[in-house]
Structure 1
Amino acid sequence: MTDLVQSENRRRHFLRLGVSVASGMVLPVGFNACSREEDDKITNKSLQTFVQPTMLEAKNGLLDVTLTASYLDTKLSGASPNQQFPVSLRAYGYDNQTPSYSGPTLVVRGGDQLRIKLVNNLPVNPPFVAFRDPTNYMKPNTMNLHTHGLHVFPGIYADKKDAKYGDYVVDPNYGGVIPQGDKRQYVYHLPKNHSAGPFYYHPQYHGSSAIQVASLMAGAILVRGAIDELPEMAQATELVFLFQAPYFANSKVPNNYGVKDGLLEKFAQIANHPTGHGLSHSNGYINAQPVLINGVRQPTIVMQSGEVQRWRFINTQVFNYLNLNLDDHVFHQYTTDGWGSSAYQEFPDTRQKDGRGVLLAAGNRSSVIVKAGRPGTYLLRSLPVKITQGNNPIILPGDVLATVIVVDAKKAGALTTAAPTATTIPAAPLPMTDYLKPITDEEFANAGGKKRSIIFNMISNEIKQNADSSFSAWNKAFTGLTEISSDTLESFKKNTAKVKDDLSKLIGMPIAGSVYIAPNPVPKYEYELQASNTIIQNIILGDVEEWTIFNCNNLSHVFHIHVNPMFITRINGTSIKPYWCDTVALPAGGTALEPKSITFRMRFDDFTGPYVMHCQMLQHSDLGMIQRVTVVPS
């Protein structure tokens, strides 16, 4: 173990919940959470291995922090907590601290100012060459910063002597925070009526966001509000769950594209196998990346029977969904993303029912209240998730994410002098910000009733006419067509591609069909990047509009728009009970002739400037599933 990792763990602490914790250093790698579902004998040596990220809280209306991007050399668990891999991945440190498994949690309130200085200490980008490696990016170490979901100014402050940035992510190809010491000062002024809930920050430099977030570059933002001042909320222990799925080269991965073990350096590592590797792909499930929580694989959480806690779920994965379920317990959800509700949505144990838990697409968040039941051992799971429709649907496998040990409250009280635990779930209706007033038909009509349609569709590039192109493999996989897998045919296709590839190298020009794509239900791309400002939606400040997002693919893409939350009103043209969010999974199973859709209304209030909307499956965003939004003064 390196000195860096030991230093990191010395400053981390473990929550003591109802039982004393065994003495000694506990590292956030290699801990094997109990997978048995029968009751365990709990002693005063029971360990809580859940690691809470460092919390930095605003004081007197200001939180000022420096985030430094550099490599973290450590070990991470694979699918089994006992299976550890040495890695060197991009990560955030803060102020004078070394990089860690997640960025610090930034705690602010409506009306506060959040200042983040971003320092890029990553090494220089690979040199640009005329015939560059098509499996790699040109600028994997150039970055910027996005505060995912926050309703804040997205531009550059023009009235400052030294440049200061809001939630600005539309850097041109020559911009961004470049490696080896470049800096940028971000300043976010939160409106006083900002919604209270969980948000998060991550890089959003077009073309490199996926490879950076698929390392360890993310951290939570908690916005406090009236709901946090409820006595029952304030007394309850609060846990932040950053669900991570770091990708890196190792001997278990079929193709690492020449990347050394423990590194994530080429886009092909996450684009050619976007769901990842490591979890079972048998029984119709596709292989998937194992999930960590704050750097720990399958941590243990200790609660007292009858205790109430509030959990903040943040899915920082770059592609995969989560379907969260706690054995024999109920999740009482009170925020969708960071946007609150006056009433709870109940999610009981659904293993024996419809299998639908708290569904989090990439970028989604949720706040839930959990009340511990009888003493025993329970599992926090992600249940299987179908992410495509068609004859051969892609299903992400289930996974055990954490173990929850519930101890008898009376016995636990005899073992500890800890403060009393919360035992009451706050009563509804819950307080909400006035920013979340429903957008009525009358308000929409009075604002002009403008409607827009946005199409999400994986389309081909200049070699689209060739049936053997890489996009053809993608299209076949997600339209449910039967793949031809004859050994004879595949051998012919492979040999033909090799001949074309050799000829392509001789003449110095690409030839259609020069890449052999084996039958596989996940996409393989031609790496041509579309600029983030190819299409611009121009909007007048103060407008209220209705947008319909059409999905023309069998895959359930994930739509995210910066700055403003969405008031979802219809799915596939059918009215639903409206709700607020900023990231939404599009219905799967669409085609160009019969697309699926989500319809929402949106207020373009408070801020002018340029920002983006894109697929939160960041591989797709980097490849061009992104558009610019520009709000101009009225």
Structure 2
Amino acid sequence: NSRNGVLSTTLETLIATNFIENSETGEIDEVNTPTYNGNLIGPTLRISPGDSIQIDLINNFPDNPEDQRLGAFPKNPFTTNFHSHGLIVSPGGISDNVFRRMEPDTTSEIQIDVGSDHHSGTFWYHPHKHGSVSFSFFGGMMGFLIVEGGPGDLNEVPEIAAAKEILMAISVIRTDTNGEVPFVNEDADQANSDTGATNGLWSTFQNSNFYYLTNGVTNPTLKMRPGEVQRWRILNAASGETFPIALEGHSLHILANDGINQEEMISLNVEEAYVMGSGNRVDLLVKAGEPGTYKLQVLDPAGTYSVTPQGIAPGPRRARIGLDFPQPTYPVTVATIVVEGSEKNMDLQDGPLPQNSGLLTRQQMLAAPLDAERNMAFETCGQRRQQAMPENRLPSCGWYFDLYDADYWGGLPFTNLLMARDADDTGIPNPVVDPEMPRIDYQKQGLFTSDEPLFDDMFGGNFEEWTLINRTNSDHPFHIHVNPFLITHINGQALPEPEWRDSILVPAATGGGGNINLADFGTVTFRTYLDPLFPGDFVFHCHILTHEDVGMMQKLTVLP
């Protein structure tokens, strides 16, 4: 906790030994993974608006390998940095600067000054070193960051303040059969291995182990009394998996998404799932029912769910992290709730929720004249399976394949491109008939570069509207740093109540019969306000981190 306006602490990164119950075998497995302070979850940091977060980050990881594939290929797994996910703070200097590099055997100072009007809510922290973020998540490198107090805190509501607070960080730890976290396949030539081969980026995880953990533990037990109301803060801390979360025999009552309050609580139906993409947080109330034992479960994402608790545009919620990773048998139990003892009949909240300080109101956001309208596309390009035929690929693929050649990938070809790019950059028709490259002369990068921002006209104080277009067969969790956004439409359908987020699943394209150009693309439209207090460089990206590590990210610069 902070004291006298300062939270001062030390975080140490190191490879540490822990023991995990294997839910498949019932045995206790030894794992040796990258950690904060030697544990499978980092310490919870609690602050108030106006506090300063001051951290000495000691990197005690081993040295990076000497012989690594260079270029844009993932590398340097033991270099780290620090991201305060969801905070509206400076992205520069020694603050929430994801362009920093903290090398092994060094100590780095971090100072994040949180504004006095910053909203209360559920946030978190984790490494964000491009090219090796997935590696750190496979070991459990993350922790809660809670902002509490100040105007708009949910505890202003007596029924919420009376509820016991429970934190649940749900992670997926991945190791090889020896309990180690391997890095990428240096010789990979595509994202996923061919059938029977090991040529994929993460083929090092074929036939590996995985563990769904809550706060670093397999299926912990939580006790409640009949009629008791608890407030749960839940975090999807996985590297990319989507979690449709449901509690047997109970309803989930949604208070806040990504640390930002709803206008009113949304009560889901009994056993209805709340969908969490990687990086999402939810604050909710649970009122215990009759005595008994109930499972909190991750349901099969292949079912039909909306990306919002308002039920807009339901569909399968598949997030394709990589075909080389073993997958669970659903449902996966992430906690067991035992309801027992004498009755404790508590009331659920009813009526409007307090609105967060430090954010414009929904009405202000919707009424403000727009300074810019932008379209951003998630696109994937390949040369095998369905995309072996050029006509099944997006028209941008040929141009970008030529741009991102073997030299770009460190001397060997890499025939998958996972891009987040400016959809208004459409190129021009190729004057030479070439099925492999129907359009040419795209002006902007499709993959991440730190050299230049995607846009050169983003100014602090501006209001912008973005439409995210998903031209792939996988949901992609979009996350932007510093500036949260107000979602107005999903797949063209207006939300009954516009919804604040800092991360949202963009629905996959549907249909097309194997030809992505014939599919119906998924979309999310939002408005955002570029806070003039925090200009500088930051990023947006897909929060499936195996995608981010190979370039599904872009740099943004907000100018004063």
| Residue-by-residue CA offset, 1:63-104 (whole Å, 9 max, x unaligned) | 1111110011121233337232211101111xxxxx212111
* Aligned 8 A contact 1:136 1:265 in 2: no
Find the aligned partners of 1:374 and 1:61 in 2 and give their Cα distance: 43
Displacement, 1:624? 0.4
Match of 1:632 in 2: 559
Match of 1:246 in 2: 173
Find the aligned partners of 1:544 and 1:88 in 2 and give their Cα distance: 46
Q: 1:237 aligns with which of 153, 164, 178?
A: 164
Residue 354 of structure 2 corresponds to residue 431 of structure 1 = yes
Residue 492 of structure 2 corresponds to residue 565 of structure 1 = no
| Residue-by-residue CA offset, 1:200-245 (whole Å, 9 max, x unaligned) | 1000011011111121100001111332244433332211101010
Change in CA separation of 1:288 and 1:443 when aligned onto 2, cut-off 3 Å: farther
Deviating more after overlay: 379-388 vs 296-305: 379-388
Q: 2:92 aligns with which of 148, 151, 155?
A: 155
Residue 293 of structure 2 corresponds to residue 374 of structure 1 = no
Residue 307 of structure 2 corresponds to residue 363 of structure 1 = no
Structure 1 ranges of 4+ moved more than 6 A: 133-136, 387-390, 392-396, 475-478
Match of 1:166 in 2: 95
* Aligned 8 A contact 1:302 1:405 in 2: yes
Residue 25 of structure 2 corresponds to residue 88 of structure 1 = no
User: Aligned runs of 1:414-429 on 2, under 5 Å?
Assistant: 423-429=346-352
Displacement, 1:386? 2.3
* Aligned 8 A contact 2:73 2:550 in 1: no
Change in CA separation of 1:114 and 1:453 when aligned onto 2, cut-off 3 Å: same
Change in CA separation of 1:552 and 1:511 when aligned onto 2, cut-off 3 Å: closer
Residue 247 of structure 2 corresponds to residue 326 of structure 1 = yes
Q: 2:6 aligns with which of 49, 62, 79?
A: 62
Give the TM-score normalised by structure 1.
0.68
User: Aligned runs of 1:230-629 on 2, under 5 Å?
Assistant: 230-250=157-177, 261-268=178-185, 272=192, 289-350=210-271, 356-386=272-302, 397-409=330-342, 423-434=346-357, 435-438=359-362, 440=364, 443-445=367-369, 448-460=370-382, 464=383, 467=384, 530-533=448-451, 535-538=453-456, 539-577=458-496, 578-589=498-509, 591-592=516-517, 594-605=520-531, 606-629=533-556
* Aligned 8 A contact 2:241 2:319 in 1: no
Displacement, 1:195? 2.3
Match of 1:488 in 2: none
Displacement, 1:449? 3.6
Match of 1:191 in 2: 115
Change in CA separation of 1:386 and 1:289 when aligned onto 2, cut-off 3 Å: farther
Amino acid at match of 2:184: F
Amino acid at match of 1:549: L
Match of 2:403 in 1: none
Question: How much is the aligned-residue C-alpha RMSD, in angstroms?
Answer: 3.5
Unaligned runs of 5+ in 1: 1-56, 94-98, 157-164, 251-260, 278-286, 351-355, 411-420, 479-503, 514-527
Unaligned runs of 5+ in 2: 194-199, 305-314, 321-326, 395-405, 416-445, 511-515
| Residue-by-residue CA offset, 1:110-133 (whole Å, 9 max, x unaligned) | 22221222111100000135xx49
| Partner SS, residue 311 of structure 1 | strand
* Aligned 8 A contact 1:338 1:366 in 2: yes
Query: Quick one: percent identity of the two aligned structures?
Result: 31
Q: 1:177 aligns with which of 95, 99, 102?
A: 102
Give the TM-score normalised by structure 2.
0.77
Find the aligned partners of 2:160 and 2:540 in 1 and give their Cα distance: 34
Change in CA separation of 1:458 and 1:375 when aligned onto 2, cut-off 3 Å: same
Find the aligned partners of 1:561 and 1:288 in 2 and give their Cα distance: 31
| Partner SS, residue 140 of structure 1 | coil
Find the aligned partners of 1:542 and 1:509 in 2 and give their Cα distance: 43
Change in CA separation of 1:58 and 1:511 when aligned onto 2, cut-off 3 Å: closer
* Aligned 8 A contact 1:303 1:404 in 2: yes
Change in CA separation of 1:534 and 1:288 when aligned onto 2, cut-off 3 Å: farther
Q: 2:143 aligns with which of 212, 216, 219?
A: 219
Find the aligned partners of 1:540 and 1:546 in 2 and give their Cα distance: 14
Q: 2:57 aligns with which of 106, 111, 118?
A: 118
| Partner SS, residue 247 of structure 1 | strand
Find the aligned partners of 1:422 and 1:101 in 2 and give their Cα distance: 35
Flag the structure with larger Rg: 1
Change in CA separation of 1:533 and 1:78 when aligned onto 2, cut-off 3 Å: farther
| Partner SS, residue 210 of structure 1 | helix
* Aligned 8 A contact 1:198 1:220 in 2: yes
* Aligned 8 A contact 2:231 2:283 in 1: yes
Amino acid at match of 2:145: I
Find the aligned partners of 1:85 and 1:133 in 2 and give their Cα distance: 34
Find the aligned partners of 1:243 and 1:206 in 2 and give their Cα distance: 23
| Partner SS, residue 540 of structure 1 | coil
More helix by proportion, 1 or 2?
1
Change in CA separation of 1:376 and 1:168 when aligned onto 2, cut-off 3 Å: same
Displacement, 1:293? 0.3
| Residue-by-residue CA offset, 1:402-446 (whole Å, 9 max, x unaligned) | 111111316xxxxxxxxxx7823233322122414015577431x
Amino acid at match of 2:51: D
Find the aligned partners of 2:218 and 2:159 in 1 and give their Cα distance: 30
Find the aligned partners of 2:45 and 2:336 in 1 and give their Cα distance: 26
Change in CA separation of 1:155 and 1:68 when aligned onto 2, cut-off 3 Å: same
* Aligned 8 A contact 1:125 1:142 in 2: yes
